[in-house]
Amino acid sequence: MASEWSEREKTVYREIEAWAENLAAAEERGRKRKEKFDTAYEKLPDEMLEKVHGMLDAVLFQISSFADVNLPYGQEIEKMLSAARLFDNSVSCVADMQKLSIDQLDYIAERQQSRYHLLSFVQGGLSGTGKPLLAAGDVLFLLVANLRAVQLTAATYGYEAKTPFELLAALKIIFMAAAPEMVRYAVWKELMDELDGREQDFFTESGKIFHRYLWPGTIGHAGKLALFTLLRPKKRGKINWAGATIGAVSNYYFSKKVGECARKYYQYRFLKDKHEKTSPA
């Protein structure tokens, strides 16, 4: 039998619904831009796109594997469980996190994410100095750090992050944050459909993770790195403060966007699972 919704849970659920409605409204406003993009994209050679997307997919999964092997996970989980035991001392594993209230989980999730927001800010500032090695590693760092941040958010709400389903969900959440506003709702809807066991059609149109709508952000990021190089001072020893500021702020806000998408998704899952997929009255 489904448990009763608390007033706070009803409020959070309605906030998620309002957030999703804003995504849908942005999609509607961007419909014409999306149609123009699709028309231009479909004129490109299919064989070339297939090869490029295949290589990019392979890179994404290699980076995911790198994150699993090289970034601390067990230590972060232990810190999370320790924080949870301040609210309920019976918490001993990831699944036990669902014993906590939605506000307690949100508090822990925000603390987890804030560290990665700061890391993204620092890395963005370093890459913005225009030094080739730091700039080249910016994309790798952004994906790895944000992937781990999403996985820890999943664990905070009681979902074991290191499963194929959760890894794919985490990558889609990062994609949703990186994609133009005109398609974010489509990604959100696909994530919802997966939870309800319905057929998906957004990612499955290509069967790949690197979707066509990642190209605008990819090109924009490449342009940002090129700008850092142009702004780099010619005299050695001088710091490119303009580039460092742009890099720090842009990486920080991207990390915040990823965190927001992740929290909405796992809040929704937590509430729906807790109440056996019934909606609040």
Within a 13 Å sphere around the CA of 77, how many CA atoms are in the beta-carbon half? 19
Which residue segment(s) compose the domain that 239 sits in?
Answer: 27-274
Residue 45's alpha-carbon distances to 6, 10, 37, 49, 218, in angstroms, are: 54, 49, 15, 6, 19
Angular region, 237: left φ>0, alpha ψ -120 to 50, beta rest? left
Q: Residue 156: which residues within 8 A CB-CB, separation 6 or more? A: 80, 97, 105, 108, 109, 112, 266
3-class SS of residue 59 = helix
Domain assignment of residue 5, yes or no: no
pLDDT at 1: 44
Angular region, 258: left φ>0, alpha ψ -120 to 50, beta rest? alpha
Residue range 114-123, pLDDT digits in tens: 988 888 888 8
DSSP labels, 141-190? HHHHHHHHHHHHHHHHTT--SSSHHHHHHHHHHHHHHHS-HHHHHHHHHH
Is the dihedral angle over the CA atoms 241, 247, 251, 253 positive or is it negative? positive
Domain assignment of residue 229, yes or no: yes
Domain assignment of residue 9, yes or no: no
Domain assignment of residue 21, yes or no: no
Cβ pair 262, 157 in contact under 8 A = no
DSSP labels, 18-58? HHHHHHHHHHHHTHHHHHHHHHHHTTS-HHHHHHHHHHHHH
Domain count of the fold of the chain: 1
- Would the pLDDT of 46 be above 80? no
Closest among 205, 184, 244, 232 to 46, alpha carbons compared: 205
* Tokens 């509607």 belong to residue: 28
Residue range 93-126, pLDDT digits in tens: 999 999 999 999 999 999 989 988 888 888 888 8
Q: Residue 142: which residues within 8 A CB-CB, separation 6 or more? A: 120, 123, 251, 254, 255
DSSP labels, 213-280? GGHHHHHHHHHHHHHHHHHS-SSTT---HHHHHHHHHHHHHHHHHHHHHHHHHHHHHHHHHHTTTPPP
pLDDT at 41: 80
Domain assignment of residue 12, yes or no: no
DSSP secondary structure code for residue 86 in this structure: T
Domain assignment of residue 98, yes or no: yes
pTM for the whole structure: 0.86
Residue range 240-275, pLDDT digits in tens: 777 788 888 888 999 999 999 999 999 999 999 888
Residue range 148-192, pLDDT digits in tens: 899 999 999 999 887 878 888 888 899 899 888 888 998 899 899
Among the residue ranges 12-16, 41-45, 80-84, the one predicted with the least confidence is 41-45
Domain assignment of residue 215, yes or no: yes
Domain assignment of residue 8, yes or no: no
* Tokens 């700008």 belong to residue: 227
